[in-house]
Amino acid sequence: MSYKTIEVHPVSGALGAEIEGVDLSCELDAAVVAEIRDAWLEYLVVFFRDQKLTPAQQVAVAKRFGDPVEYPFVQGLPEFPTVTPVIKLPDETINFGGLWHTDTTYQACPPMGTMLYALKLPPFGGDTLFANGYLAYETLSPGLKATLDVLTGIFSSHKGRVVDTRAPRIADAPKAGSDNARVAEHPVVRIHPETGRKSLYVSFAHTTHFKGWTEAESKTLLDFLFEHQTRPEFTCRFRWTPGSVTLWDNRCALHNPINDYHGYRRELHRITLAGQPTTG
C-alpha cells in the first residue's frame, strides 16, 4: 500500500510499523487519519515517536479512531476518566498487564484498539512485544483449523497471575466491584470486522477453557495455542522512548510488556477504544 500524507516504515516481517510525519497534538486532517487507519489495519500496531500530548490531546486524537471507554478495574485520571495511568513504581516487582494478552477480553464487547503514550521510562528495559493473531491462525494445519473454527473460548478477568498484575493500581485507585470476576465468551477463531481475516483469539492471561469442555480437557490444546501464537516469527518488539505512542488492534494482535527494569519508574497513559461483539 502506498501512502501520500505519512511515511510508514515496517519494523518486522510479522507486524508493526513506525509512522513519521505526524504531530498527534495537532488537529489531524481527515486524509491523514484515513491513512493512519489503513496502516493500522495493515500492520496491526503502529508507532509514533517524539510526541508531546496532554491528556486532553491524547483523548482528542484517540477519538479520531474510535470511542474511548473506561478501564473496568482502575480509576482513570480525575478529569479524564478514559485515560488510565499504567505505572510500575521503583519498589514494585510486578508490572501492569505483564503477560501475553489482548485487552479486557473478559468483556462481552472487548475493545477495538488501545493507544498508549509514554511519559516516564526506565533507562533500559520495559519494551513491549506484539504478536500477529492472523499468522497464528493461518499457519495451523487444516485439521486443527477445522477443530478451532467451531469452538468458543471462556475468558476471565481473574485467571491466575493476571490478578496480581493489576493489584497495585487497584489498591491506588479502585473502582466499585473491582474484586468481582468478569467472564465472557468469544469465538476462538475471530473474524475481523474490517479486514475479514481470521485470527486466533485466545490468550494466556484470560482464556480459561473451551465452552463445553472442562479446564483439564482444555489445558493441553490451550497450552499449545499459547506457545504457537507467540512464536518469534509472529512477533515484533518496540523499544519505548519518551513521547512514544502506540496504537494497536486488539481484534487481531496480542501484546506483552516486558518486566525487566526493577528499581525504576515506568509510567504511560492508556486509552482503550470501544469494540463490538465478536464474530467467528
Active site residue 270: yes
Q: Which of 190, 206, 251, 255 is catalytic?
A: 255
Instruction: Collect all residues with Cβ–Cβ distance below 8 Å to 88 and sequence separation of at least 6.
Output: 94, 95, 96, 259, 261, 265, 266, 267
Active site residue 23: no
Active site residue 158: no
Buried b / exposed e over 5-29, threshold 16 CB at 10 Å, is ebebeebbebbbbbbeebebeeebe
Q: Which of 103, 169, 186, 269 is catalytic?
A: 103
What's the CA gap between 38 and 111, in Å, rounded?
Answer: 18
Residue 230: count of CB within 10 angstroms of its CB: 19
Q: Which of 101, 166, 169, 269 is catalytic?
A: 101
How many Cα atoms occupy the beta-carbon half-sphere of 62 within 13 Å? Answer: 32
Q: What is the 3-state secondary structure (H, E, C) of 70-120?
A: CCCCECCECCECCCEEEEECCCCCCCCCCCCECCCCCCCCCCCEEEEEEEE
Active site residue 103: yes
Strands (E), 113-196: 113-120, 128-132, 152-156, 183-187, 189-191
**Contact (Cβ atoms closer than 8 angstroms) between residue 101 and residue 254:** yes
**What nine digits make up the cell of 22?**
505526524
How many Cα atoms occupy the beta-carbon half-sphere of 51 within 13 Å? Answer: 29
Active-site amino acid positions: 101, 103, 255, 270
